[in-house]
Structure 1
């Protein structure tokens, strides 16, 4: 019986075909993103907010979303994803497709403070996100409930020094701006508070008003109506200067605590790998929004100062704050 000779294999040819297939696949995958960058946006954008509705982050995010919608000619839909101090929202955005249709109104607390707390985070602020622009900075007021026996900031400090952990502080969760204020206050005044986390700043304010917790840090729109009615007492604004929205409240700097500065700094980010053309278009849109007198007036009414930036400036701010909070909340300091 005659046996046909075995045809020799040609591994180099197979490798070549494999390489061509990989190149073709990569090319095909790149086409949708190029198309999106060219005609972006051609459908609604989802703006994820890491805290519940009603807090200062949510209010500013909604104002920003509305203004961006007008600039971009597409709807910007705000989606609240509260929980775990903002980590749930950050993880969601981290895993989203980097096509510019899922963005996050992120705070410094979520990106730079949370990684140094005991709460587990599933993201790397330096690697998992594309930074687009800062939007605004909101100094916070230090407010206490009407039944707290302290009419001034120094009096509150003395009260806390006499009874460690007796003064409870409501926040929007570990890493949130009110939480940052509490930690800075503890570090500056050498006191210890009892931390009580909620899903949003609005919820924490409600609980201070009802007497469930003693104090919080929040923006003027959330607390001044209660201060005016006598249900809350504003002891200071955690800022180098007084606010036009609460001119009667002294600043922490004039009370002798210049390093007690706290507030919410927030901006736009997207998943890592966002097309530079999309980033450029969004950054330009934010710059136009921040310069608009109507938008400025809206933010100022919320006690917030517009603060547009380049992507690089936003990234550097997060990097610097990461180092700061690593030192403040590092091993042995939590």
Structure 2
């Protein structure tokens, strides 16, 4: 099954980067999630789940009978679940596993002292027969979730990382998307309006502006390094370290998104937010790692009301909790060089400075 976790159609550039990039380490992911869900412990589930041949019966209880191509998932309770598998329709993964079957195996193993449980797979996943792939899914009411890191690996990433956040807020890129979606040909008047919009943003200052500037400086530094080394890398400018960080970052954001569903949050329809729904890898990479003020309030109340003394009575306690959460996330971002983490740290710096100036824990 080791070959199932490797993208089948890499480009030459991506293949070179994949050889150097490292998959996300579980401890690094847990550190991010511990900061994101500040106040709620994040622990590694020790009893092992094991893959094995479906027809290898050695005393485990078979669940359910098999009439399709399956791989066996043996749970800590010694039950063997038949997980449907297939080749991916787009040819990127040699074999995908069905996430509903995986979640069935997970549902019976929620620890008594845990709110939720998540399984992280290096295999590609699908849900329905008509799906190409599914990066993650949570059944919030059942407190179970599964996430695949397969589609975030460098081999599968879209060209130029799909203008990943914070570059997704680049005015030139947004103009291009709007023109492509418009039925009308561009006119001088439209071009003038777009130019004036970009000029209007010049000199503005806020968390997003600082995130874009920090990420742009990181990209410029990578271009300069590549140029001075005589290396032509038009498609990607990442070093091995930043490629690893990008992979880690996108996987961590997806895991946080799915675990938020387990806390009762739905997809966000208000602002740019990590809780927005998405339908492709490129769209997922364009979304921010932070949650909007509405979803932030939901997360903090879901956690704080149950674990923080004085949560309901004292506004100062709630504001302090938000500041501590941002500080923990900033500490995680400081460790990594990828554009997402660099941009996120700059965003957090600006937010924390604003909180100090206003003397509260609210994000404007």
Is TM > 0.5 for Structure 1 vs Structure 2? no
Q: Which has the larger radius of gyration?
A: 1
Q: Which has the higher contact order (CA 8 A, sep 6+)?
A: 1
Using structure 1 for the length normalisation, give the TM-score. 0.25
Higher strand share: 1
